[in-house]
């Protein structure tokens, strides 16, 4: 499964580089706002004028969410080939990205959590005359990846997950897991639960799900830093996935594209007619129910973690790109704006479903395109 996914991703990246290079050579200007249809059309072709104002050979430094790094890598490959701009996205975690952005070190940051009020306040020191804003750009399910020999299909629910990650359920043949998986042969094997060691928006979203659905079993306040006792840790989504793959009896949380090659994904019993597996389609069904709660140019969303809709996967994140609405650095603004225009375009968003991410629903991404056109 992982080999097929990796081959598919490699083909996608190659095709994206070619199609992106062709699409980006037809680029529109920075002033391509207006109706959503004209914005979408010009953004999808990512204008040669945009590429022209971005200095060839220029380097943009970005950091943040590791969950969106595979998407960023795909986009960067096409954009850099077409526009000659080098984008170095570290993927060091949402916390690191927001901190570095608010220190003025980055052209943009990626985060799986919207800016907190104190982070917005801090951004005003960097965004001259403006502030940092959240632009939802990538969607996707947070998969619970597991490595349990002999168990190919595993169903868990919110209370059971909370007890596993809080070290209250410690064996795979626990009665609560057996009840959810009556036909599975569950081994008498210790559960090795892995969480993020770095501050992470993925952690924030996963724990928001537990708080929203099983507060009686998850007594922690949540946030980017892991709070529960016990378990083991690793840095980044890739680090957690690697540990799960290498450890018999392991379970961890990370973005869907890290599932495979010895790591399977849990289906969630939400109370719907059937357990729901993580997929781009099941995540999109949940994201479509999200509400914009940001004010002004900020487009932060509130997700429905407690959904019981058939086919909607509840542990879903939306990862944001963070920029200044006003006061972006003049020397990097053209390249930053061109890149954001491309990734929010129809062409850019189409890439996501081919690499296990969920495109942002039309009603929301249309607002993102309009906001990008207005940043200065």
CB 265 within 8 A of CB 206: no
CB 50 within 8 A of CB 30: yes
Residue 51's pLDDT is what? 73
Q: Is 83 exposed, middle or buried (0-12, 13-18, 19+ CB in 10 A)?
A: buried
Per-residue pLDDT tens over the stretch 169-187? 999 999 999 999 999 999 9
CB 339 within 8 A of CB 145: no
Per-residue pLDDT tens over the stretch 10-30? 434 444 443 444 344 333 333
Please choose, from the candidates 151, 124, 135, 140, the residue with its C-alpha nearest in 3D space to the C-alpha of residue 263.
Answer: 151
Q: Is 39 exposed, middle or buried (0-12, 13-18, 19+ CB in 10 A)?
A: buried
Tokens representing 37? 């249809």
Cβ neighbours, 10 Å, residue 117: 7
Give the lowest-confidence range in 33-37, 326-330, 363-367.
33-37
Letter string b/e over residues 179-211, b meaning 16 or more CB atoms within 10 A of that residue's CB:
ebbeebebeeeebbbbbbbbbbbbbbbbbbbbb
Residue 52 has pLDDT above 60, yes or no: no
Letter string b/e over residues 319-328, b meaning 16 or more CB atoms within 10 A of that residue's CB:
bbbbbbbebb
Is the model more confident about 226 or about 2? Answer: 226
The chain-wide mean pLDDT, for the chain, equals 87
Give the lowest-confidence range in 19-33, 149-163, 223-237, 244-258.
19-33
Confidence of residue 197 (pLDDT cuts 50, 70, 90): very high
Residue 16's pLDDT is what? 45
User: How far apart are alpha carbons 135 and 111 in whole angstroms?
Assistant: 10
Confidence of residue 261 (pLDDT cuts 50, 70, 90): confident
Span 118-146, average pLDDT: 96
Residue 24's pLDDT is what? 46
User: How far apart are alpha carbons 122 and 60 in whole angstroms?
Assistant: 22
Residue 54's pLDDT is what? 78
Tokens representing 21? 């290079």
User: How far apart are alpha carbons 231 and 159 in whole angstroms?
Assistant: 17
Cβ neighbours, 10 Å, residue 264: 20
Stated length of the chain = 376
User: How far apart are alpha carbons 194 and 121 in whole angstroms?
Assistant: 33
Alpha-carbon separation of residue 158 from 213, 317, 366 (angstroms): 6, 16, 33
Residue 335's pLDDT is what? 94
Is the model more confident about 257 or about 64? Answer: 64
Please choose, from the candidates 142, 138, 141, 134, the residue with its C-alpha nearest in 3D space to the C-alpha of residue 292.
Answer: 134
CA 234 to chain centre: 18
Span 159-177, average pLDDT: 98
User: How far apart are alpha carbons 110 and 101 in whole angstroms?
Assistant: 9
Confidence of residue 364 (pLDDT cuts 50, 70, 90): very high
DSSP code at position 115: P
Is the model more confident about 34 or about 197? Answer: 197
User: How far apart are alpha carbons 75 and 91 in whole angstroms?
Assistant: 14
Percent of the chain's residues with pLDDT above 70: 86
Residue 220's pLDDT is what? 97
Per-residue pLDDT tens over the stretch 293-348? 999 999 999 999 999 999 999 999 899 999 999 999 999 999 999 999 999 999 99
0.85 exceeded by pTM:
no
Confidence of residue 50 (pLDDT cuts 50, 70, 90): low
């Amino acid at each position: 499964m992982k080999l097929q996914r990796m081959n598919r991703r490699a083909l996608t990246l190659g095709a994206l580089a070619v199609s992106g290079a062709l699409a980006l050579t037809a680029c529109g200007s920075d002033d391509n706002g207006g109706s959503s249809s004209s914005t979408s059309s010009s953004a999808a072709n990512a204008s040669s004028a945009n590429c022209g104002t971005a200095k060839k050979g220029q380097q943009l430094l970005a950091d943040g969410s590791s969950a969106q790094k595979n998407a960023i890598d795909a986009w960067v490959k096409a954009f850099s080939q077409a526009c000659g701009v080098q984008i170095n996205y570290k993927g060091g975690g949402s916390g690191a990205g927001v901190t570095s952005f608010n220190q003025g070190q980055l052209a943009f940051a990626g985060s799986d959590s919207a800016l907190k009020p104190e982070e917005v306040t801090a951004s005003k020191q960097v965004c001259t005359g403006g502030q940092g804003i959240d632009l939802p750009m990538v969607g996707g399910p947070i998969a619970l990846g597991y490595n349990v020999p002999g168990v190919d299909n595993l169903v868990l629910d919110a209370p059971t997950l909370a007890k596993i990650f809080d070290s209250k359920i410690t064996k795979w043949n626990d009665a609560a897991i057996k009840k959810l998986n009556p036909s599975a042969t569950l081994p008498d094997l210790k559960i090795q639960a892995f969480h993020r060691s770095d501050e992470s928006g993925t952690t924030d979203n996963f724990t928001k799900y537990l708080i929203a659905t099983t507060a009686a079993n998850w007594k922690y306040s949540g946030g980017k830093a892991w709070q529960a006792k016990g378990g083991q840790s690793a840095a980044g989504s890739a680090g957690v996935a690697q540990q799960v793959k290498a450890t018999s009896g392991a379970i961890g949380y990370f973005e869907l594209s890290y599932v495979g090659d010895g790591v399977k994904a849990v289906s969630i019993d939400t109370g719907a007619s059937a357990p729901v597996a993580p997929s781009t389609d099941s995540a999109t069904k949940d994201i479509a129910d999200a509400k914009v709660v940001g004010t002004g140019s900020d487009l932060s969303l509130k997700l429905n973690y407690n959904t019981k809709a058939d086919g909607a996967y509840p542990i879903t994140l939306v990862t944001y790109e963070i920029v200044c609405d006003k006061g972006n650095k003049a020397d990097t603004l053209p390249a930053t704006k061109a890149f954001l225009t491309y990734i929010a375009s129809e062409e850019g968003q189409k890439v996501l479903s081919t690499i296990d991410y969920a495109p942002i629903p039309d009603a929301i991404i249309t607002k993102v395109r309009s906001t990008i056109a207005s940043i200065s």
